[in-house]
Structure 1
Amino acid sequence: MVDPTTAPLFGVVLHLALAFGLGALIGLEREQSKSGGTFAGSRTFPLLALYGALVQAFFPDALAIAIAALVVPLTVAYVGKVVSEGDIGLTTLLAALVTVLLGALSMHSDRGAIVAIVVGGSVTILLSVKDPIHEFADRIEERERRASAKFILVALVVLPALPDRSVDMLHGLNPRFVWLMVVFVTGLGFVAYVLGRIVGPERGIALTGILGGFVSSTATTVSMAGKTIGNETLYHVCGFAVVTASIVMFPRALVEVAVVNPRLAPSVALPLGGMTVVGAIAAAALYWWTTAEQTVEPDRLKNPFRLRPALLFGAVFAVVLLVSEYATEWFGSSGLYATAFFSGLADVDAMTITVSQLASQGAVSTPVATTAIVIAAIANTLVKVALVWILGTRRLGTLVSAVLGVVIVSGLVFLAL
């Protein structure tokens, strides 16, 4: 805690300046957006932040009482705003209370100051994107909202109830870890889904591939391949979308490794990063090759927050985890590589997380884990090539095979380095 009686004067002033700055940032946003109205603006919010900072600095035990004392004047001001302007929104009122807490955090400690900066910036961004958020909410159908609510409810209820230990009945699986990974992988897809719905269906072929790759690269491949059957001249632009969706899988896998086992990430970063760079260069060349008149209407992204696909991924992940453990125990690294290849044909996420977990437990070495993840990624890339040949045209198959073939070879080269 920053003790004003012992801390250098410069340090105290610096923390007070931070509180003032965060309050001013939020206040300017409220005034510029005219959302605060007569309630609060660019002068009131800095004062609220300083109020919280000074109370925390000199009367920390009275912080709760000081915040409670603000409720009365803030409520009176809010009621006056409702009466005079007819606006019953609570956003500015809540932002005022959060600003007081940010001021207190700024003065609490150096760590608190960092948290205040992060939260203050996030609050400002959240307040400033009111219209896009409302537009996004309007685009979501009732069925999708119910599916999301059901998934979130199940995730929040089920996760704490699951045992955080190996269960003999489940052959040593940790149920909480399995479900946590389900929520994590689904959350990655949901972020891309939200971005896709915000930018709208006119987002363009580049974002179609990128966002589609994060939500489901396989679904994007199937969609683009099918479009070339009706119009063969679209093979350039559809091929670009397939290639982009396929290479997005590599940084996605790298994110998963970094979350599950950060120590493995540097080793995996070279082959996956190399494949991403080579694929991005190839995709850029392919994009340059397409003409401005070539357009394709992308299919709407599906909401990943659905219970049935999540449960299916959980089952696949659990099976892959068990098979990988037994294959490694019985057949060594060759057994893990075979498992990685066959599981990668269906889902690269499950294998990536599984191998990362095994490496964190010391069950496999870092080189073996890296090789297994790359094998799974290559297997999944081969699936994309097969799908465009089966569901698309010969031109699309030839184009995608050439580009992704170079990506696969580059992955093997980087792996051998």
Structure 2
Amino acid sequence: MPALDIFSRLAVALAIGLMVGIERGWKARDAGDNDRAAGLRTFGLSGLMGGVAGALSLPLGPSILAAALLSYAGALGAFTWLEAQRKGNLSATTLVAGLLTFLLGAMATVGEPRAAIAAAVSMTVVLALRIQLHRWLAALTWPEIRAGLILLVMTFLLLPLLPDRPVDPWQAVNPHEVWLLAIMLALISFTGYIAVRIFGERMGVLVTAIAGGLASSTATTLTFARLGREQPQAVDLLAGGILISGAVMALRVLAVASALNPALGA
């Protein structure tokens, strides 16, 4: 690997650690420098350590990376345990975040740096939204969790098992496409329910209509029509949502056509 490439990848590894360290350090900004197991400097060095271990594993073999990971995990685990003993805090977030930072630093040097950066950003967002996520989880009901699980089963368990080809003598019924439409209907219904809970009835329908128009205005129309039959008092609002979804679909088609062929878009 060229030296310039190694330096840039190590810089990415360090940046990953510093990004996570800023979030962790800000959360513990009221604590003293020696009153926490890991902060900005520790996480920054953790990412860089993972990057160095990954770089060394290229000429020396993967055992170097494995040994470095085990040593790091043992040291960080010991300090995290001492901190938990002193504070009475049983959270393993710092330990998991540290291990993931080390691994992403290694991934930046021996794997795909862009994927490592994307994973680090995702981790930082999850860490930063701790209070909001806990509040959202506490507000969930069992029917909502069950609906989400059913949607996940429909999408990731059943859909891949269905044949993606016509199965009838007339070559008209594709089980994969039919089930995909059912998933879209369920997803739009679930999205609409969540949007109404968050934004209220009017804004929730508007958000769902816009999102549904970007995905499938047909599925949005079917979903809102079914809701209109179940909730006659909201027919006007749902009809407006159908019109908005259709308008978004038209704008989407215009944008795609203009991007592919500006003359056709004009």
Please say whether Structure 1 and Structure 2 have the same fold, judged by a TM-score greater than 0.5: yes
SS in 2 for 1:131: helix
Contact 2:191/2:208, CA 8 A, preserved across alignment: no
Distance 1:245 1:165, change over 3 A: closer
Alignment-derived partner of residue 339 in structure 1: none
| CA displacement 1:106-132 (0-9 Å, x = unmatched) | 2125xx111122221121112111222
Alignment-derived partner of residue 77 in structure 1: 79
Distance 1:117 1:195, change over 3 A: farther
Query: Given the alignment of the two structures, is residue 267 of structure 1 paired with residue 243 of structure 2, yes or no?
Result: no
Alignment-derived partner of residue 88 in structure 1: 90
Alignment-derived partner of residue 119 in structure 2: 119
Contact 1:210/1:245, CA 8 A, preserved across alignment: no
The letter of the residue matching 1:137 is L
Q: Could you tell me how far apart the structure 1 residues matched to 2:234 and 2:193 are?
A: 21
Contact 2:12/2:108, CA 8 A, preserved across alignment: yes
The letter of the residue matching 1:247 is I
Contact 1:26/1:45, CA 8 A, preserved across alignment: yes
Distance 1:41 1:178, change over 3 A: farther
Select the residue among 213, 226, 246 that pairs with 2:233: 226
Give the alignment's Cα RMSD to 1 decimal: 4.0
Q: Structure 2 regions of 5+ residues with no counterpart?
A: 213-219
Distance 1:176 1:18, change over 3 A: same
Q: Compute the displacement of 1:183 (Å).
A: 3.7
Alignment-derived partner of residue 211 in structure 1: 208
Alignment-derived partner of residue 105 in structure 2: 103
| CA displacement 1:192-249 (0-9 Å, x = unmatched) | 655654xx356x8545522355365664994998369xxxxxxxxx87x864663245
Instruction: State, as a whole percentage, how many aligned pairs show the same letter.
Output: 27
Contact 2:24/2:40, CA 8 A, preserved across alignment: yes
Alignment-derived partner of residue 320 in structure 1: none
Q: Could you tell me how far apart the structure 1 residues matched to 2:185 and 2:95 are?
A: 35
Query: Given the alignment of the two structures, is residue 8 of structure 1 paired with residue 3 of structure 2, yes or no?
Result: yes
The letter of the residue matching 1:226 is Q
| CA displacement 1:329-386 (0-9 Å, x = unmatched) | xxxxxxxxxxxxxxxxxxxxxxxxxxxxxxxxxxxxxx9xxxxxxxxxxxxxxxxxxx
Alignment-derived partner of residue 24 in structure 2: 30
Distance 1:100 1:208, change over 3 A: same
SS in 2 for 1:266: helix
Query: Given the alignment of the two structures, is residue 131 of structure 1 paired with residue 125 of structure 2, yes or no?
Result: no
Q: What is the TM-score with the length of structure 2 in the denominator?
A: 0.71
Select the residue among 70, 76, 80 that pairs with 1:68: 70
Alignment-derived partner of residue 51 in structure 1: 49
Q: Could you tell me how far apart the structure 1 residues matched to 2:166 and 2:67 are?
A: 46
When the two structures are aligned, how many residues end up with a matched partner?
A: 245
SS in 2 for 1:43: helix
| CA displacement 1:144-202 (0-9 Å, x = unmatched) | 112222332344332343334443579464434543454456446655655654xx356
Contact 1:16/1:50, CA 8 A, preserved across alignment: yes
Select the residue among 239, 243, 247 that pairs with 2:244: 247
Alignment-derived partner of residue 215 in structure 2: none
Distance 1:178 1:242, change over 3 A: closer
Q: Compute the displacement of 1:138 (Å).
A: 2.2
| CA displacement 1:19-78 (0-9 Å, x = unmatched) | 111111111101212399723211111111111111111214233343233332233233
Alignment-derived partner of residue 151 in structure 1: 151
Q: Could you tell me how far apart the structure 2 residues matched to 1:90 and 1:30 are?
A: 13
Q: Could you tell me how far apart the structure 1 residues matched to 2:258 and 2:113 are?
A: 34
Q: Could you tell me how far apart the structure 1 residues matched to 2:21 and 2:87 are?
A: 19
Q: Could you tell me how far apart the structure 1 residues matched to 2:110 and 2:99 are?
A: 17
Contact 1:105/1:113, CA 8 A, preserved across alignment: yes
Q: Could you tell me how far apart the structure 2 residues matched to 1:227 and 1:69 are?
A: 62
Alignment-derived partner of residue 167 in structure 1: 167
Q: Could you tell me how far apart the structure 2 residues matched to 1:167 and 1:190 are?
A: 30
SS in 2 for 1:163: coil
Q: Could you tell me how far apart the structure 1 residues matched to 2:187 and 2:90 are?
A: 33
Q: Could you tell me how far apart the structure 2 residues matched to 1:103 and 1:74 are?
A: 16
Contact 1:254/1:269, CA 8 A, preserved across alignment: no
Contact 1:209/1:245, CA 8 A, preserved across alignment: no
Q: Could you tell me how far apart the structure 2 residues matched to 1:118 and 1:21 are?
A: 12
The letter of the residue matching 2:17 is G
Q: Could you tell me how far apart the structure 2 residues matched to 1:30 and 1:84 are?
A: 19
Q: Compute the displacement of 1:268 (Å).
A: 8.2
SS in 1 for 2:91: coil
Q: Greater CA deviation, 61-70 or 95-104?
A: 61-70
The letter of the residue matching 2:43 is F
Q: Could you tell me how far apart the structure 2 residues matched to 1:95 and 1:23 are?
A: 10
Distance 1:187 1:95, change over 3 A: farther
The letter of the residue matching 1:80 is L
